[in-house]
Amino acid sequence: MPPPLPPEAGRDAWEQAHEDALIRAREDDATPPRPPRPLIDACAVRLEPLWRHVFGMDLRRLWLGMRSPRGPLRAYYRAPCPRPATPWPAVEYLALDIEATGLDAETDEILSIGYVPIIEGRVRLAEAGYHLVRPRRPVPEETAVIHGILDGHLENAPRLSQVLPVVLQALAGRVPVAHHAHMERFFLSRACRRLYGQPLEMPFVDTMALEYRQLGGPDQPLAPGSLRLGRIRARRGLPRYPAHNALSDALATAELMLAQADALSRDRPARLAALLS
Amino acid sequence: MDVELIEIRDFLAGVHPFDLLAVEVLGEIAQALEIRYARRGTPLLVPGDRARFLYIVRTGAVETRDPQGELLARLGEGECFGVRALMHDGLALNHSHAIEDSLLYLLPAERFARLRQAHRQIDYYFAPQIGGRLPATSPAGQADPALGLMTVRVETMLGRAPVTLGPEAGVRDAARLMRDERVSCILVTEDNRLVGIFTDRDLRNRVVADGLGMATPLSRVMSKHPVGIDASASAFDALLMMSRHNIRHLPVMRGATLAGCLTTTNLIKTQATSAVYLVGDLHKQETAEGMRAVLSALPDLVRSLVDSGASAHNVGHIVSTLTDAATTRLVRLAEKALGPAPVPYVWAAAGSQARHEQTALSDQDNCLILDDAYDEAAHGAYFTAFTRRVCDGLALCGYAHCPGGTMAMAAPWRLPLARWRQLFQGWIDEPEPKALMLASIFFDLRPVAGPAALFGALQTPVLEQARGSRVFQALMAGNALTHQPPLGFFRNLVLVRGGSNANRLDLKHTGVVPIIDLARVHALAAGVRAVNTQDRLKACAEAGSLSAEGAANLREALAFLGFIRLRHQVRQIQDGQPVDNYVAPDSLSSFERAHLKDAFSVVKTMQSALAHTYQLGRF
């Protein structure tokens, strides 16, 4: 678990904290904070660790799909999840990034979502998406200075209930990719739970974790900040993009994943399993 | 979906030729792109691959090599590749692979095609790569002679007020007025309005030939409602209008009022190059000093030629013609002083003068071919004195003595026909390095003074022998590869190292000379008589010793390099600096740099092809 942080420390600090946690401990320590759950889910939630161990992701997705109401989430679960043994370029991905009013998926709200798919090993900008989301409460100043999204920008923005179906459609059949994927994972799952009553369960490629492994994992000393998206990209000779725009960050993450996947491939392409967290 | 890919759009905005497009268009292109990552060593295009994209290097570097492994280009950030493959049946011709870890933007072929259709500037930029050709016109269009006329306004060409008469005036009065005013036409006006035009030709065809009386009013014989042109129009438009209507007189209007009449003579005067007068002046001179004074106008002439849009080819022709005139005049003066020559001879120019490629007063290269009746004992003294006079005269004019001594005044280069033939035969049969060096000078030979038949008696058999000796050609080909284009450039052009020319590009030896050498070898292989490089390339393409496409590419590369070099020299003339061939790349626009790379890559490709033809192995 990353140490708790005051919200004004911002996302960089949060990422930094996670990074420290990653370096100090193991990835599996960084499981989501347990939110209080509605009673209706209590049974399934209690069984979650067991599900995971016994039936794996596929069966759980099947189960969640069946429990989801008709609509976007069920449609999402219907799309088959790529098999881990597939060579990485044969899998479709969706690199995504979320900016929110804060860092707590339980209380904070999504303000913008940016995403761009990777198909046949190429980022496809034609299918990139960027959505502003109108929150229920005003944007707190301390996060507005980070992502630059102000209430004025959001006046005509759609609600999450209008945006989420679009995002789920883009995600269907694709593996999500994010840098420090916890945030995206929690926020999306929380959103699904709130709107459709079921969590979003999906295999994730986390470019931060991937970089951490490629740098040698826990045995290798790492300078603070060296797992930040911008730093990693600079090290890999990728261009500098402005941070904290959801689409820029999604694009930056997508390009980084291409470089990482390429580095993992030697004589033949690495398998999806090698990328997954 | 309206998605703003700002960082990609901004990147494109800094890349030529995309910088020529509006921001909105760049946004659309950004949205059409795909992004690919390639680790160092990753092949991107292999010959025969289906080309589906235009590639733009975002970061990293890519190398393109031909199927023989010869390096064609290195591309860095912001440079495009895969264009030729897109157009060549959609199949890649060359190998391209990443030589650094690279991030590449890929524009789908169909999108690229639409972009070219919608935006001429994009099409113009890529057209040379698509057709494998450089544009015939230089960036500012200077190579087009019509452009000189484009910049001249009609009103500046009007010498005098219009000569007018009323429609009731008789033809005799009109003829008298024309004689007195020394004009070839009368503008017929009524209430200050132009109603007709009466010309010399009308007088002949409509009055005299038809036997009309002297008092016939102009209104009966004039051309009614003549076409006119506005005073602010360009001379080019005027010329166009005259040729379209097949007329020689064009009334010029300033608004509703008549401003004057433009004639073909006006136009010719504007275009008449002072070169013609300079040639005339040279022939009037009695001394080399006098000729030197005439030739001192040469830098200005070159400058005005370049300014008025002459190509390097035109300038080379004009300057070499002046050298020819100076030479012929000096030859006449020598004969006048020493008496007529005892045996027939040909004064032949070698090198750039022979090729019609001089652009300034340069070192002289010449020789003398004597009739076989020449007898050393009887005639040697005459020709020693004769050649000495001419060569020294040329040196006085500003054509310095050749440092290598290839001049008619040197005994080895003043030979009877039979000896010349033996000499050439020797070079062809035993092509040692020295022989090859001399051959490359003396195979560019052109008679300046003397009987053409004598020169032909040397040239014809020599070309025949050269054409028949593949070994000689192969060695000449090897020689032609000594000077290479600076394809080692990477992100920038490789520059001359050290000295005062550090960081400058030697356009002559890395661009112009390799093309001249290539043209010579191909010409020898095809038995082409022409010596001018453009002419040689054209003739080789016609004879089939060079592909039409290859020849066209080389000619255009030469025209472009020649233009850049000449413009550089003209700037030096303007700044009062000594003229050289070293161009600083930052004095070129990015557009010109891109074209320069194209030109160099054409040279490189054609050198590889030559090496391949003669199995020269890797050079």
Tokens (6 digits) for A107: 């209380």
* φ, ψ (nearest 5 deg) of residue B589: -75, 160
Judging contacts by C-beta atoms under 8 Å, the chain B residues touching residue A122 are 34-36, 106
Any alpha helices (H) in B311-451, and if so which ranges?
312-338, 351-354, 376-397, 417-429, 433-442
Mark which of B462, B497, B524 sits at the end of a domain. Answer: B462
b/e map B342-378, b = 16+ CB within 10 Å: bbbbbbbbbbbbbbbbbbbbbbbbbbbbbbeebeeee
Mark which of B462, B493, B509 sits at the end of a domain. Answer: B462
Q: Tens digits of per-residue pLDDT, B505-537?
A: 888 888 899 999 999 999 999 999 999 999 999
Residue B328: how many other CB atoms lie within 10 Å: 18
Q: Tens digits of per-residue pLDDT, B2-39?
A: 577 888 998 898 887 888 888 889 999 999 999 999 98
Distance from CA of A265 to the nearest CA of B (A): 10
**Per-residue pLDDT for A125 more than 90?**
yes
Those residues with Cβ within 8 angstroms of residue B125's Cβ, 6 or more apart along the chain or in another chain:
B16, B17, B20, B591, B594
Query: Do B266 and B291 belong together in one domain?
Result: no
Considering only the beta carbons, identify the residue of B5, B38, B42 that sits closest to A128.
B5
CB of B477 closer than 8 Å to CB of B616: yes
Tokens (6 digits) for B52: 């589906």
**Per-residue pLDDT for B273 more than 50?**
no
Q: Is A238 on the interface with B (CB under 8 A)?
A: yes
A242–B7 CB contact, under 8 Å: yes
Q: How far is CA A218 from CA A25, A229, B319, in A?
A: 8, 19, 76
Any alpha helices (H) in B79-231, and if so which ranges?
83-87, 109-118, 120-130, 146-150, 171-181, 200-202, 218-221
Residue type, B454: L
CA distance A195 to A257: 30
CB of B519 closer than 8 Å to CB of B533: yes
Tokens (6 digits) for B112: 């690229």
Which stretch of DSSP H or E encloses residue A103?
A: none
Considering only the beta carbons, identify the residue of B3, B36, B42 that sits closest to A247.
B3
B34–A259 CB contact, under 8 Å: no
Does some domain include residue B525?
yes
Q: How far is CA B395 from CA B291, B398, B438, in A?
A: 11, 5, 22
Planar angle of CA A91, A96, A98, nearest 5 degrees: 160
Considering only the beta carbons, identify the residue of A121, A128, A238 that sits closest to B103.
A238
Q: Is B270 exposed, middle or buried (0-12, 13-18, 19+ CB in 10 A)?
A: middle
Region at A244 (left for phi over 0; alpha for psi -120 to 50; beta for the rest): left
So what's the pLDDT on residue B133? 36
Distance from CA of B100 to the nearest CA of A (A): 9
* φ, ψ (nearest 5 deg) of residue B372: -65, -10
Q: Which residue has the higher pLDDT, A30 or B164?
A: B164
CA distance A158 to A156: 7
Average pLDDT over residues A189-213: 90
Kindly write down the DSSP assignment for every residue of A113-149, as one continuous string: EEEEEEETTEEEGGG-EEEE---SSPPPHHHHHHH--
Radius of gyration (C-alpha) of chain A in whole angstroms: 18
Tokens (6 digits) for B56: 């733009």
* Helix axes of B417-429 and B433-442: crossing angle, nearest 10 degrees: 130
Q: Tens digits of per-residue pLDDT, B315-369?
A: 888 888 889 999 999 999 999 999 999 999 999 999 999 999 998 888 899 999 9
CB of B194 closer than 8 Å to CB of B251: yes
Mark which of B69, B96, B130 sits at the end of a domain. Answer: B130
CB of A229 closer than 8 Å to CB of A12: no
Does some domain include residue B142?
no
Considering only the beta carbons, identify the residue of A124, A239, A262 that sits closest to B58.
A239
Q: Is A237 on the interface with B (CB under 8 A)?
A: yes
Does some domain include residue B154?
yes
**Per-residue pLDDT for B225 more than 70?**
yes
Those residues with Cβ within 8 angstroms of residue B73's Cβ, 6 or more apart along the chain or in another chain:
B63, B64, B81, B487, B597, B601
Average pLDDT over residues A72-80: 87
Inter-chain contacts counted by CB atoms under 8 A, chains A and B? 72
CB of B51 closer than 8 Å to CB of B45: yes
CB of B76 closer than 8 Å to CB of B121: no
Please give the residue of chain A at the shortest CA–CA distance from B1. A129
So what's the pLDDT on residue A128? 94
CATH number of the domain to which B254 belongs: 3.10.580.10
Query: Do B455 and B600 belong together in one domain?
Result: no
Query: Do B281 and B195 belong together in one domain?
Result: no
CA distance A271 to B209: 97
Judging contacts by C-beta atoms under 8 Å, the chain A residues touching residue B37 are 255, 258-259, 262
Judging contacts by C-beta atoms under 8 Å, the chain B residues touching residue A255 are 35, 37, 103
Those residues with Cβ within 8 angstroms of residue B22's Cβ, 6 or more apart along the chain or in another chain:
none
Query: Do B529 and B601 belong together in one domain?
Result: yes
Q: Which long-range contacts (CB under 8 A, 24 or more apart) does A261-269 make?
A: A261/A88, A261/A89, A261/A121, A262/B37, A262/B38, A262/B39, A262/B42, A263/A214, A263/B39, A264/A88, A264/A214, A265/A88, A268/A87, A269/A87, A269/A88, A269/A89, A269/A90
Please give the residue of chain A at the shortest CA–CA distance from B60. A237
So what's the pLDDT on residue B360? 82
CATH number of the domain to which B83 belongs: 2.60.120.10
Considering only the beta carbons, identify the residue of B5, B30, B59 that sits closest to A238.
B59
Judging contacts by C-beta atoms under 8 Å, the chain A residues touching residue B5 are 125, 128, 247, 251
Q: Which residue has the higher pLDDT, A66 or B235?
A: A66
Q: How confident is the model at residue B173 (pLDDT cuts 50, 70, 90)?
A: very high
Bridge partners, residue B34, by sequence: A124, B106
Q: Tens digits of per-residue pLDDT, B457-473?
A: 999 999 999 999 988 99
So what's the pLDDT on residue B60? 83
Query: Do B302 and B427 belong together in one domain?
Result: yes
Q: Tens digits of per-residue pLDDT, B176-198?
A: 999 998 888 999 998 888 999 99
Kindly write down the DSSP assignment for every residue of B52-95, as one continuous string: -EEEEEEES-EEEE-TT--EEEEE-TT-EE-HHHHHSTTB--SE
Query: Do B159 and B209 belong together in one domain?
Result: yes
Does some domain include residue B567?
yes
Q: Find the domain containing B50 and state its range.
A: 6-130
CA distance B283 to B287: 10
Residue type, B617: G
B205: DSSP letter: I
Judging contacts by C-beta atoms under 8 Å, the chain A residues touching residue B31 are 125-126, 128
Distance from CA of B8 to the nearest CA of A (A): 9
Query: Do B238 and B292 belong together in one domain?
Result: no
Residues in chain A: 277
Judging contacts by C-beta atoms under 8 Å, the chain B residues touching residue A125 are 5, 8, 30-35
The torsion of the CA quartet B219, B221, B227, B232, rounded to 10 degrees, works out to: -70
CB of B581 closer than 8 Å to CB of B564: no
Q: How confident is the model at residue B129 (pLDDT cuts 50, 70, 90)?
A: low
Query: For chain B, first and last CA: distance in Å?
Result: 54
Bridge partners, residue B224, by sequence: B196
B5–A242 CB contact, under 8 Å: no
CB of A246 closer than 8 Å to CB of A113: yes
Bridge partners, residue B193, by sequence: B190
Considering only the beta carbons, identify the residue of B31, B39, B60 that sits closest to A125.
B31
The torsion of the CA quartet A88, A93, A99, A102, rounded to 10 degrees, works out to: -60
* φ, ψ (nearest 5 deg) of residue A15: -60, -40
- ipTM exceeds 0.90: no
Tell me the pLDDT of chain A averaged across its residues. 80
Does some domain include residue B458?
yes
Distance from CA of B488 to the nearest CA of A (A): 23
Radius of gyration (C-alpha) of chain B in whole angstroms: 30
Which stretch of DSSP H or E encloses residue B37?
A: strand B34-38
Query: Do B305 and B394 belong together in one domain?
Result: yes
Judging contacts by C-beta atoms under 8 Å, the chain B residues touching residue A248 are 6-7
* φ, ψ (nearest 5 deg) of residue B194: -80, 120
Does some domain include residue B557?
yes
Q: What percent of chain A has a predicted confidence (pLDDT) above 90?
A: 36
Q: Is A153 exposed, middle or buried (0-12, 13-18, 19+ CB in 10 A)?
A: middle
Query: Do B206 and B116 belong together in one domain?
Result: no
Strand ranges across the sheet with B43-45:
B43-45, B95-98, B62-65, B71-75
So what's the pLDDT on residue A253? 96
Query: For chain A, first and last CA: distance in Å?
Result: 16
A87: DSSP letter: B
So what's the pLDDT on residue A121? 94
CA distance A26 to A47: 24
Judging contacts by C-beta atoms under 8 Å, the chain A residues touching residue B6 are 242, 245, 248
Task: Mutate one of A88, A123, A169, A267 to test the B interface: name it (highest B CB count within 10 A).
Answer: A123
* φ, ψ (nearest 5 deg) of residue B518: -60, -45
**Per-residue pLDDT for A56 more than 70?**
no
Distance from CA of A38 to the nearest CA of B (A): 36
Does some domain include residue B340?
yes
Which domains does chain A carry?
A: 28-275 (3.30.420.10)
CATH number of the domain to which B353 belongs: 3.30.460.10
Residues in chain B: 619
Does some domain include residue B145?
no
So what's the pLDDT on residue A16? 59
Tokens (6 digits) for B287: 């001394």
As for how many domains chain B has, the answer is 4
Query: Do B158 and B182 belong together in one domain?
Result: yes
Query: Do B37 and B178 belong together in one domain?
Result: no
Residue A266: how many other CB atoms lie within 10 Å: 7
The torsion of the CA quartet B382, B387, B389, B392, rounded to 10 degrees, works out to: -160
Task: Mutate one of A92, A93, A122 to test the B interface: name it (highest B CB count within 10 A).
Answer: A122
In B210-344, DSSP assigns E strands to 223-224, 229-230, 249-254, 257-263
Q: Which residue has the higher pLDDT, B248 or A114?
A: A114
Query: Do B312 and B446 belong together in one domain?
Result: yes
So what's the pLDDT on residue A20? 56
Residue with tokens 């946004």: B27
CB of B128 closer than 8 Å to CB of B148: no
Considering only the beta carbons, identify the residue of B34, B37, B60 that sits closest to A124.
B34
Considering only the beta carbons, identify the residue of A122, A129, A245 that sits closest to B34.
A122
Tokens (6 digits) for B462: 């020599």
